[in-house]
A = this chain, B = another copy of it.
Amino acid sequence: MADVITYREAVAEGIAREMRRDTSVVCLGEDIGAAGGVFKTTTGLHEEFGPERVWDTPISEQAIVGAAMGAAMTGRRPVAEIMFSDFLACCWDYLANEIPKVRYMTGGQVTVPLVVRTANGGGLGFGAQHSQATENWALTVPGLKIAAPATPADVVGMMAAAIRSDDPVVFFEHKALLATKGAAPPPGHVVELGRACVVRPGDDVTLVALASMVPLALKAAEVLSGEGIEAEVVDLRCLVPLDAATVLASVCTTSRLVTVEENPYQGGWGATVVSIVADEGFGLLDAPVRRVAAECVPLPFADALEEQVIPTVDKVVMEVLRLAAY
């Protein structure tokens, strides 16, 4: 394997590694077979594992995820693709009411070891119905694990953990990161779900970010460093399990917290993180907690409008500078 791989390749690689290890892993979704997926994130799987392990489906999101659930309850480990995360809305009943609840409401009689993978977020100019960061929908529902890797190595490692997990995992692959490159992970690489990662140390302010916001936060940290402010950047990696301990530990050092969220402010994951810190870490805080999130509007098509709406490096830098002046 090459030393460097793209995030896109990492998705297929991560799935392939698990399919080799465990014959119970099976994939289904729209155009994922011979076509290799609309985002080319399943390239090679059909060739290597054949049509009995990689299944093309009709445009039937409910049947896809519902069938994955039934298969997971009966001994398989399905990996279902929902092409764009916006389309989770078309099978939301399964994510909100069925998959996360069946184990609990049967008193633990069944487990649902499945992964729902989906291309998430904006950045490719696909407009309001194909660009949302929908991980916050899932956060409202107890019983789902929520993974959102930021690097190719994390994609592979977290995919391994997700597929091996006996719990349902919604796996958000960020569209804007697909072409990015990173170190190829070693064989057997597994990243436990629920462990955040301090991707840049710093003493002055904690920036908590997820997926595409991680490189953005890192860029902002570089700019801030030039202004004499050292930001610690935490890649949350998962929303559930939520690694609040790592965030609190960082705030313990920095006394200042800024979340960087692609999603609209209202109902975003940063709010949950902030509410934990404003409770358990209140005594640590020296300044207001700030959330750099998207405006509360649908995502507009034009770039000139989009940059008004979503977080940018400039916006993060400006907010941190304002906070530093508090």
Which chain A residues have a beta carbon within 8 Å of chain B's beta carbons?
A: 86-87, 89-90, 92-93, 95-97, 100-101, 104-105, 127-129, 134, 136-137, 139-143, 239-240, 242, 263-272, 274-275, 277-280, 282-283, 285, 287-291, 295-298, 300-301
Once the chains bind, are B267 and A274 in contact (CB under 8 Å)? Answer: no
Which listed residue (B101, B140, B295) contacts A136, Cβ 8 A?
B140
Chain B residues whose C-beta falls within 8 Å of the C-beta of A95 in the assembled complex: 89
Chain B residues whose C-beta falls within 8 Å of the C-beta of A268 in the assembled complex: 140, 272
Report whether over half of chain A's contact residues are helix, strand or loop; otherwise say mixed.
Answer: mixed
Q: In the complex, what distance in Å separates the CA atom of A48 from the CA atom of B240? A: 50
Q: How far is the CB of A92 from chain B (nearest CB, A)?
A: 4
Chain B residues whose C-beta falls within 8 Å of the C-beta of A100 in the assembled complex: 298
Closest to A96 in B: B89
Once the chains bind, are A290 and B297 in contact (CB under 8 Å)? Answer: no
Q: In the complex, what distance in Å separates the CA atom of A290 from the CA atom of B301? A: 39
Closest to A98 in B: B129
Once the chains bind, are A97 and B86 in contact (CB under 8 Å)? Answer: yes
Q: Which 3 A-B pairs have the closest CB atoms?
A: A271-B271, A92-B92, A282-B288
Q: In the complex, what distance in Å separates the CA atom of A290 from the CA atom of B278? A: 8
